[in-house]
Amino acid sequence: ALDADRLARFKREAEVLASLNHPNIAAIYGLEDIGGSQFLVLELVEGETLAQKLKAGPLPINEALAVARRVADACQAAHEKAIVHRDLKPANIAFTKDEQVKVLDFGLAKALAPDGVSATADANSPTLSLAATRAGVILGTAAYMSPEQAKGREADKRSDVWSFGAVLYEMLTGKRAFEGEDLSDTLANVL
């Protein structure tokens, strides 16, 4: 809140994310400031996540394909607005009480330039990150991140497609596509 540049970027990203108006994306209703603290007002999705649902095992193929279609539609809508999610995973896919699919948590989302490449490599992004090397930053969840993310390189639309494939694999098999004993093993398996 005290860094004007970072706050301006947070506000710009909030406005870009608020432009996502799609039935399969949890809505962002506004950016509020109370007592100097900035926060986003998001749609409350009261229901089970895909991660919770997968604890019971793989989904029947027809159900998995129906969920996948809605997630793909949500990603396409974001990509058409030049936004890449960068953290697509079962915990960020939820079902409303009437079983509507909602993609959640665009907290690591990145606005892209019109050519589909990351608009900036700003180290002041308001998202959480784990420094991988001096040259790059790892963002996302290891088991679902694309190889370029695992290497700390810029993510683009293809990164979401990779993550989507990992989620679809898990829906169909009931197990993660990339697992490991720990974080480094998982990243090695992704690579």
93: three-class secondary structure by DSSP: strand
Alpha-carbon gap, residue 21 to 35, rounded angstroms:
29
Is 191's pLDDT higher than 80?
yes
Pair of tokens at residue 72: 């793909």
87 a catalytic residue: yes
Q: How many CA atoms lie within 13 Å of 148's alpha carbon, on the beta-carbon side?
A: 13
Q: Are 143 and 189 in contact (CB under 8 A)?
A: no
Mean pLDDT estimate for the chain: 82
Of 31-40, 42-51, 119-128, 129-138, give the range with the top mean pLDDT.
42-51
Convert the pLDDT of each residue in 80-133 to its tens digit: 988 888 889 999 999 999 999 999 887 666 666 555 444 443 333 333 333 333
- Contact 54/172 with Cβ under 8 angstroms? no
In which band, very low, low, confident or very high, does the pLDDT at 32 lie, cut at 50, 70 and 90?
Answer: confident
With the CA atoms of 125, 95, 31 and 121 taken in that order, what torsion angle do they form, in degrees rounded to the nearest 10? 10
Residue among 87, 98, 115, 122 flagged as catalytic: 87
**Cα separation, 49 vs 44, whole angstroms:** 13
What is the share, in percent, of the chain residues with pLDDT greater than 70?
A: 82
- Give the mean model confidence (pLDDT) for residues 158-186: 93
pLDDT computed for residue 153 by the predictor: 86
Q: Which of 55-59, 64-68, 139-143 has the lowest mean pLDDT?
A: 139-143
Q: How many residues does the chain have?
A: 191
Q: Which is more confidently placed, 108 or 49?
A: 49
Our measurement of the distance from residue 81's CA atom to the centroid of its chain's CA atoms, rounded to an integer in Å, reads 15
Residue 137 has pLDDT above 60, yes or no: no
Beta carbons within 10 angstroms of residue 172's beta carbon:
15
Q: What's the pLDDT score for residue 107?
A: 65
pLDDT at 169: 97
Predicted local confidence at residue 118, as pLDDT: 44
Strands 130-131 and 110-111: unpaired
Structure tokens at 168: 């679809």
The conformational region for residue 175 under phi > 0 = left, psi -120 to 50 = alpha, else beta, is: beta
